[in-house]
């Protein structure tokens, strides 16, 4: 005996089958086919449950409140707690330029930080209202190895200001409005290593 497909049962239960096909199913059911009666019962129960689904949709106001509550738990907040602070080994405003740092006629501030085995060469550039941070991460133990999956996050207090990824050669650049930030920190999250935190001073000292 030929039975009907699940699609036929769904359409039949919802009253969407053409009259002739619906009549064929009704005629078949009148013969008390146990398998088809069971299928019909199952699909009716499914549709009955689905008809009540809208009753469980939360109001828009509640959804907004929940989203606002979770927004407080910003995903980058953990960086403040787990990142290790990089040590300043060179600041162009506070000591003579050593031989290993390239000379420059730019008035920008140059900083070199160390968080073994990484060295972060960072230049701060103020142009009108904007502060640009241009840097490069170097692995002192494996200088020829490329860097992969390095996230760069610029954070002001607990607010994310800018985010980017370093290139495989460790180069990156981020920028922000220099007059709208007060407590800038740069976080470098290198896959397989503890995150590195750098406090960003004023570009002009």
Q: Identify the residue whose tokens are 């994310």.
A: 160
**Per-residue model confidence (pLDDT) at position 106:** 45
Q: Which residues are CB-neighbours of 121 under 8 A, at least 6 positions away?
A: 110, 111, 112, 135, 136, 138
Can you give the pLDDT at residue 137?
96
Helix (H) or strand (E) holding 155: strand 150-156
DSSP classification of residue 13:
H
pLDDT for the residue numbered 116: 93
pLDDT reported for residue 98: 52
Task: Please give the model's pTM, rounded to 2 decimal places.
Answer: 0.58
pLDDT at residue 97, as a whole number: 54
The confidence score (pLDDT) of residue 73 equals 54
Q: Looking at domain 78-199, does it have CATH number 1.25.40? A: no
Q: For residue 60, what pLDDT is reported?
A: 74
- Rounded to an integer, what distance in angstroms lies between the CA atom of residue 156 and that of residue 97? 29
- The pLDDT score that the predictor gives to residue 202 is 77
Per-residue model confidence (pLDDT) at position 84: 94
Bridge partners of 90, per DSSP, are 112
Look-up of token digits 């405003």: 93
Helix axes 19-29, 6-13, angle to 10 degrees: 100
Location of each CATH 2.60.40 domain in the chain = 78-199
Q: Which residues of the chain have pLDDT under 50?
A: 1, 102-106
């Amino acid at each position: 005996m030929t039975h009907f497909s699940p699609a036929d049962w769904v359409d039949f239960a919802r009253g969407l089958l053409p009259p002739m096909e619906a009549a064929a199913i009704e005629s078949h059911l009148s013969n008390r086919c146990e398998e088809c009666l069971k299928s019909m019962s199952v699909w009716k129960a499914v549709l009955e449950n689905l008809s009540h689904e809208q009753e469980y949709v939360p109001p828009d106001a509640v959804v907004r409140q929940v989203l606002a509550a979770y927004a407080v738990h910003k995903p980058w907040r953990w960086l403040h707690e787990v990142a290790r602070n990089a040590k300043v080994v060179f600041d162009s405003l506070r000591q003579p330029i050593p031989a290993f740092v390239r000379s420059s006629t730019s008035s920008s501030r140059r900083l070199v930080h160390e968080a073994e085995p990484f060295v972060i060469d960072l230049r701060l550039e103020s142009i009108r209202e904007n502060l640009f941070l241009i840097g490069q991460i170097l692995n002192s133990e494996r200088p020829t190895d490329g860097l992969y999956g390095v996230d760069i996050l610029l954070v002001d207090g607990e607010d994310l200001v800018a985010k980017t990824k370093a290139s495989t050669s460790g180069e990156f650049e981020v920028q922000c409005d220099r007059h709208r930030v007060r407590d800038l920190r740069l976080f470098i999250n290198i896959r397989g290593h503890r995150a590195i935190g750098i406090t960003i001073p004023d570009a002009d000292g």
